[in-house]
């Protein structure tokens, strides 16, 4: 007989009534139920690594940091990429921008390739191993880590570039995904940052989904730096998941986002919206983080990120003796990890909502 498990994998926001438990313990015979299993780590590296030699000793004096100052009053814009060393589509986007040049009408623009050391380790034969050197650079941005006594390659780098982050009026952090997923923007739970993401998403050439999530249990991301999270602050931040790591189309999405940000930066900074909004962004809020409790966690099928499951109670995955289900109708899957290790985030569940989350 099935036994509902009342425990949820993470806290939930008030996103409406649930119609089904997320976890249900199955009898032992259920281990024979068909499922996806764990797909092999074989990836198509269709995008070669960029030449980033000009970033090693830039005029700023800090490796990976280029600064462009218009000489006129305006917003501090910061665009970061390569926070993970194997996500080098962002390296292509920033190097293309630096090489082509651009007209900055006001303010100052800082471009940051955050983890060049990890990028230098990239090997197309084992492309996932260059994500970081010692630890995930995108989990270190809480003051307790930045100001603590720990040391690692990534932590030292975070401390080195933190002054540029702390002065940003507008921060766009460029990322890509290992497993197939529809591009989307992610904003921390602050109204001002949701406004930034929505202003970018209102362009016809950019993804229209803007997600507010629960953060990561492993630590604070760059977009959650205190400068962007403080209730009385003015800094706005968002993250763009632009597509697959090694797909040339991902670079195009990133470049479109950069063009949009630079053209609308002053208006977004002053008014929280863009002058031209062609599309209506679709807001979504993460309600649950599903953590793999067992090493044999496997999905029922190879779900892609961004898919919406119509009915509550649809089986999603096996986790040991548990089956994972959608807890409500119209449940969106956010960036499923098709090979999660025990204790890793396997997938986030999200519900569409009508408006940005208020601070």
- Segment 211-265, tens digit of pLDDT: 998 788 789 999 999 999 999 899 999 999 999 999 999 999 999 999 999 999 9
Predicted confidence (pLDDT) at residue 291 exceeds the cutoff of 80: yes
Alpha carbons 305 and 296: distance in angstroms, whole number: 21
pTM (predicted TM-score)? 0.91
Across 211-221, b (16+ Cβ under 10 Å) vs e yields: bbbbbeeebbb
pLDDT of residue 24: 85
Query: What average pLDDT does range 49-54 have in this prediction?
Result: 98
pLDDT at 353 over 80: yes
For residue 217, the model assigns a pLDDT of 78
**The predicted structure's pLDDT at residue 12:** 41
User: Higher pLDDT residue, 40 or 219?
Assistant: 219
Residue 309 — very low, low, confident or very high, per pLDDT cuts 50/70/90? very high
**Runs of H (alpha helix) within 272-319:** none
CA distance 40 to 30: 23
């Amino acid at each position: 007989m099935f036994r509902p498990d009342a425990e949820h994998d993470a806290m939930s926001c008030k996103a409406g009534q649930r119609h089904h438990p997320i976890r249900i313990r199955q009898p032992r015979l259920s281990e024979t139920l068909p499922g996806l299993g764990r797909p092999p780590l074989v990836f198509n590296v269709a995008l070669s690594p960029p030449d980033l030699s000009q970033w090693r000793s830039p005029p700023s004096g800090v490796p990976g940091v280029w600064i462009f100052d218009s000489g006129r009053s305006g917003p501090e814009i910061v665009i970061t990429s390569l926070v993970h060393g194997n996500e080098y589509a962002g390296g292509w986007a920033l190097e293309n921008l630096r090489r082509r040049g651009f007209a900055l009408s006001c303010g100052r623009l800082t471009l940051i390739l955050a983890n060049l050391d990890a990028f230098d380790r990239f090997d197309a034969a084992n492309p996932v191993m260059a994500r970081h050197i010692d630890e995930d650079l995108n989990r270190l941005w809480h003051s307790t880590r930045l100001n603590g006594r720990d040391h690692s390659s990534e932590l030292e780098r975070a401390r080195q570039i933190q002054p540029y982050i702390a002065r940003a009026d507008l921060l766009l952090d460029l990322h890509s995904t290992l497993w197939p997923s529809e591009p989307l923007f992610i904003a921390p739970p602050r109204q001002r940052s949701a406004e930034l993401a929505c202003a970018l998403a209102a362009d016809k050439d950019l993804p229209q989904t803007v997600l507010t999530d629960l953060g990561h249990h492993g630590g604070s991301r760059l977009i959650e730096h205190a400068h962007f999270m403080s209730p009385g602050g003015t800094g706005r931040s968002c993250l763009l998941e632009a597509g697959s790591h090694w797909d040339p189309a991902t670079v195009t999405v990133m470049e479109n986002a950069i063009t949009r940000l630079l053209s609308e930066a002053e208006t977004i900074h002053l008014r929280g919206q863009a002058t031209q909004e062609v599309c209506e962004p679709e807001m979504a809020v993460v309600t649950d983080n599903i953590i793999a409790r067992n090493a044999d966690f496997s999905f029922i099928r190879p779900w892609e990120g961004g898919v919406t499951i119509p009915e509550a109670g649809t089986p999603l995955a096996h986790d040991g003796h548990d089956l994972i289900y959608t807890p409500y109708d119209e449940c969106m899957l956010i960036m499923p990890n098709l090979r999660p290790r025990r204790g890793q985030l396997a997938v986030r569940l999200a519900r569409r909502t009508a408006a940005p989350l208020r601070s």
